[in-house]
Chains A and B, each alone.
Chain A
């Protein structure tokens, strides 16, 4: 399977704990995006990378959130000191730069976070 892969698929944690999600994009895609989706809402943009450079972060991304994409391959999204409001589906997507203007992104299956 050469699609976008996310791990873990589901994470349950206690408030105050740190969690980390991993995303492996489609190999030839140089752009990688993180979105968050809460119940009853559409996905909301969090941040994106072009190769290893993080080019933009949404205001939704508080200081407790950090994302990295070392070597321009896989990416990690870490949430420190989790809060119940962080409970959501975290979606990773990738694209080739030639497709960016069309907005067509390839999404992974998501990592669902539940903060107790």
Chain B
């Protein structure tokens, strides 16, 4: 069963516009959520995270929003840049298993110049 779901396999946006990537989870024990970015032929790199006690975390152009009641989080990238084109993975951890991450399938973001 998929505990972390990214229902959009791909997203295409224009440079300068907002990119919104979505993620849903089913496990109520998750208490920390992360976004990773992956370029081809590279390993995933950490982007931004949020604790379940918060509903928003911002880092430069990247903001993650968490809606615990809906078990939903989103990553906003504003403004989007061509270099942001990559696969974005949503991941979650918690419930006594803080050492391992559960990942979604990823969303391929393409930012067009």
Contact = CB atoms under 8 A, between A and B. Distances in A.
Contacts of A40: 105
A65 to B, nearest CB: 16
Interface stretch (A11-19, A67-75, A78-86, A97-105): A97-105
A79 B101 CA distance: 23
A113 interface: no
B85 to A, nearest CB: 18
A26 interface: no
A39 to B, nearest CB: 10
Contact of A100 (B42, B49, B99, B104): B99
A31 interface: yes
Q: Bin the interface of chain A by size.
A: 20 to 34
A109 B102 CA distance: 19
A107 interface: yes
Nearest to A33: B100
B42 A109 contact: yes
Interface of B: 4, 32, 34, 36, 41-46, 49, 89, 91-93, 98-106
Given A33-B99, A50-B99, A109-B43, 20 more contacts: A31-B99, A40-B105, A42-B103, A42-B105, A43-B89, A45-B100, A45-B101, A48-B100, A100-B98, A102-B32, A102-B49, A103-B32, A103-B92, A103-B93, A104-B34, A104-B49, A105-B101, A106-B46, A107-B43, A107-B44
Q: List the 7 closest pairs (A to B, CB-CB), nearest first.
A: A42-B103, A107-B43, A103-B93, A45-B100, A109-B43, A107-B44, A101-B98
12 contacts: A31-B99, A33-B99, A40-B105, A41-B105, A43-B89, A48-B99, A48-B100, A100-B98, A101-B98, A102-B32, A109-B43, A110-B43
